[in-house]
């Protein structure tokens, strides 16, 4: 009998695991669409709330639908006392992504709604998370700075309210818009690692909170969402634009991964980068501060050096990491900001997975020891 060696797709690279109608990443043209709309157009013309609605319901909302959606999200914003107390009791050293993961798990444990797995039930839970996660991230941000939490303001948009809860003030419209653009660009990206994680959990017919908790764990890693934090740590380590080239040569010689560069799907540039880079440059221009000018020069020098040395282009985390720093967030908050956005894409995929579910369970090619007897005791 002849045995055939199966083809291994390490990291599932190149494997088409299912269909999706939510978004498409077209590597050849470096483009990305959400429900058929180019992401650049959504970033230029829509609010984050409209994009969330689009991802969940398949169409952009009309004015009445948007009004209703916004009202529901705003009403769900306040954190209940027990959730706030649980989060306040976590160790001060707890990474904000661990705080967020715990928060989703706890909010799920407290949700009395039956888990009937219908799209309506899942979207109601998704809306709860969309509305509450900013309060968790903001309260944790303030706790790290020794400050008391600030209650949400129902008169403010999703993006404005988040600044209000973090800093007690809403910055000027340019900063809010740059943040909102980052939320729109981070919202959805097909079968990326965290979304696929959410789909794997959902495929077992587990609940939405379990799927989102697992997805947060997957996003935390520096090869995925954690890269936006790693970008800022790397820029801080390099320090000076003049050092960028030499630092890069040494890092590449030491086989280090350069954070914020490269992508599993895009090989000639990430479609989201030009939009985010442009918005970040508006923040740089308005800062008029020598430290910001130096940081921006370093950011540009490293990008140039990486493209010319390796031909590897930045991904969204590269401009987003710098933008979040310029907006005043501390580095550990960066990946949680990604979660506040990606909750929309994860939820859409959870609903889609359930609509035509098949248990996700690949095979493995065994390469351990041959069969052998257990030694006698
Ligand atoms: N720094 C240095 N070398 C890189 C980088 C990088 N950032 N990205 C790719 N390469 C090199 C690899 O070393 C490899 O070289 P080799 O063929 O000589 O061994 C080649 O390019 C292919 O890289 P892989 O890691 O095999 O490509 P893969 O598709 O698995 O990796 C990944 C994609 C994980 C994103 C990778 O580019 C990486 O580690 N980047 C840094 C982390 C990062 O920025 N992640 C954010 C991803 S986007 C997002 O989550 C929003």
From the list 224, 299, 325, 349, the catalytic residue is: 224
From the list 141, 164, 189, 263, the catalytic residue is: 263
Domain range summary for the chain, segments of one domain joined by +: 23-221+332-355, 227-326
Q: Quick: pLDDT tens for 131-188.
A: 999 999 999 999 999 999 999 999 999 999 999 999 999 999 999 999 999 999 999 9
Answer whether 267 contacts ligand 1 (Cβ < 6 A).
no
The span from the CA of 323 to the CA of 309, in Å, is: 25
Predicted pLDDT of residue 335:
98
Predicted pLDDT of residue 1:
53
Pick the CATH number of 227-326 from 3.30.830.10, 3.40.50.300, 3.10.20.30, 1.10.230.10: 1.10.230.10
Predicted pLDDT of residue 28:
80
Cβ neighbour number for residue 49 with a 10 Å cutoff: 21
Q: What value does the mean pLDDT of the chain take?
A: 95
Which fold, 23-221+332-355? Citrate Synthase; domain 1 (1.10.580)
The span from the CA of 316 to the CA of 197, in Å, is: 20
Answer whether 227 contacts ligand 1 (Cβ < 6 A).
yes
Give 321: exposed, middle or buried? Use CB within 10 Å, 0-12, 13-18, 19+.
buried
Helix (H) or strand (E) holding 109: helix 96-110
Q: Helix 334-355 vs helix 317-326: angle between axes, to the nearest 10 degrees?
A: 130
The span from the CA of 322 to the CA of 375, in Å, is: 58
Closest ligand 1 atom, residue 189 Cα: 51
Using CA positions, which residue lies closest to atom 44 of ligand 1?
260
Q: Which tokens in the block code for residue 132?
A: 């509450």
Mean pLDDT of 98-120: 90
Q: Quick: pLDDT tens for 296-343.
A: 999 999 999 999 999 999 999 999 999 999 999 999 999 999 999 999
Q: Cα angle vertex 56, ends 53, 61, to 5°?
A: 30
Q: Any bridge partners for residue 23, and if so which?
A: 34
Closest ligand 1 atom, residue 192 Cα: 50
Q: Quick: pLDDT tens for 6-45.
A: 899 999 999 999 999 999 998 888 889 999 999 999 999 9
Answer whether 261 contacts ligand 1 (Cβ < 6 A).
yes
Answer whether 225 contacts ligand 1 (Cβ < 6 A).
yes
66 Cα distance to chain centroid: 23
Active site residue 224: yes
């Amino acid at each position: 009998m002849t045995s055939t060696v199966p083809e291994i797709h390490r990291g599932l690279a190149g494997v088409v695991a299912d269909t999706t109608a939510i978004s498409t990443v077209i590597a050849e043209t470096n483009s990305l669409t959400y429900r058929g709309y180019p992401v650049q157009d959504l970033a230029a013309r829509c609010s984050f709330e409209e994009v969330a609605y689009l991802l969940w319901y398949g169409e952009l909302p009309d004015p009445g639908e948007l009004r209703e959606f916004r009202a529901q999200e705003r009403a769900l914003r306040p954190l209940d006392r027990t959730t706030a107390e649980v989060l306040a009791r976590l160790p001060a050293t707890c990474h904000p992504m661990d705080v967020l993961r715990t928060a989703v798990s706890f909010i799920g444990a407290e949700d009395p709604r039956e888990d009937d797995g219908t799209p309506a039930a899942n979207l109601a839970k998704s809306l709860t998370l969309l509305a509450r996660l900013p309060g968790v991230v903001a309260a944790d941000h303030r706790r790290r700075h020794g400050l008391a939490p600030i209650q949400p303001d129902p008169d403010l948009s999703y993006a404005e309210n988040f600044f209000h809860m973090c800093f007690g003030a809403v910055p000027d419209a340019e900063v809010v818009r740059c943040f909102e653009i980052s939320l729109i660009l981070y919202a959805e990206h097909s079968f990326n690692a965290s979304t696929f994680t959410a789909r794997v959990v959902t495929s077992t017919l587990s609940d939405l909170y379990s799927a989102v908790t697992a997805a947060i764990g997957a996003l935390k890693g520096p090869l995925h969402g954690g890269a936006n934090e790693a970008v800022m740590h790397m820029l801080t380590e390099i320090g000076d634009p003049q050092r960028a080239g030499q630092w890069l040569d040494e890092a590449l010689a030491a086989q280090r991964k350069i954070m914020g560069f490269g992508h599993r799907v895009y090989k000639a540039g990430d479609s989201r980068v030009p939009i985010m880079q442009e918005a970040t440059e508006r923040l740089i221009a308005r800062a008029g501060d020598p430290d910001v000018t130096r940081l921006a020069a370093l950011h540009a020098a490293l990008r140039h050096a990486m493209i010319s040395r390796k031909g590897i282009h930045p991904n969204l985390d590269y401009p987003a990491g710098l933008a979040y720093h310029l907006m005043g967030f501390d580095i550990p908050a960066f990946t949680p900001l990604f979660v506040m956005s990606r909750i929309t894409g994860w939820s859409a995929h959870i609903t889609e997975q359930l609509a035509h579910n098949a248990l996700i369970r690949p095979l493995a090619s065994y390469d351990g020891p041959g069969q052998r007897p257990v030694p006698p005791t």
